Amino acid sequence: MRRILVIDNEEYIQEVTQICLETVAGWEVLTAGSGQEGIERAAAAQPEAILLDVMMPDMDGITTFQHLQQNPATQQIPVILLTAKIQSSDRRRYAEMGLKAAIAKPFNPIELATEIATVLGWELPGGT
């Protein structure tokens, strides 16, 4: 079973993402409500991927990603950004930083698992 960590300060987003990914893909979904909590959970749980919100108080998603990259225990985990604002220049910058992809918010909950699986090259149950 795939394990994915969702780092987002909005509980609603955590819940929707968790329900979607567990129901549609059958993945184990862990959640964290802040960048610092996410860094700690990632190191402890070693998820196979991280969904990371860009706009968070205290520590934003980019700073959180940089901390994950600096830690040998988490630097190999692929990170996908969740962001409300996304332009092609942002996509290029994110790719140069080593981020796997950026998914725009609000996202379609039904399609989220497919988007993540496509980015990471994962198979979904049912062969999609």
pLDDT tens digits, 34-51: 999 999 999 999 999 999
Name the architecture of domain 3-120. Answer: 3-Layer(aba) Sandwich (3.40)
Can you give the pLDDT at residue 128? 47
Collapsing DSSP to helix, strand or coil, 122 comes out as coil
Residue 6 confidence class, pLDDT cut points 50, 70, 90: very high
CB within 8 A of 3, min separation 6: which ones? Answer: 27, 28, 29, 30, 45, 46, 47, 48
> Position 26: which residue type?
G
What letter does residue 25 receive in the DSSP assignment? Answer: I
Residue with tokens 């399609």: 111
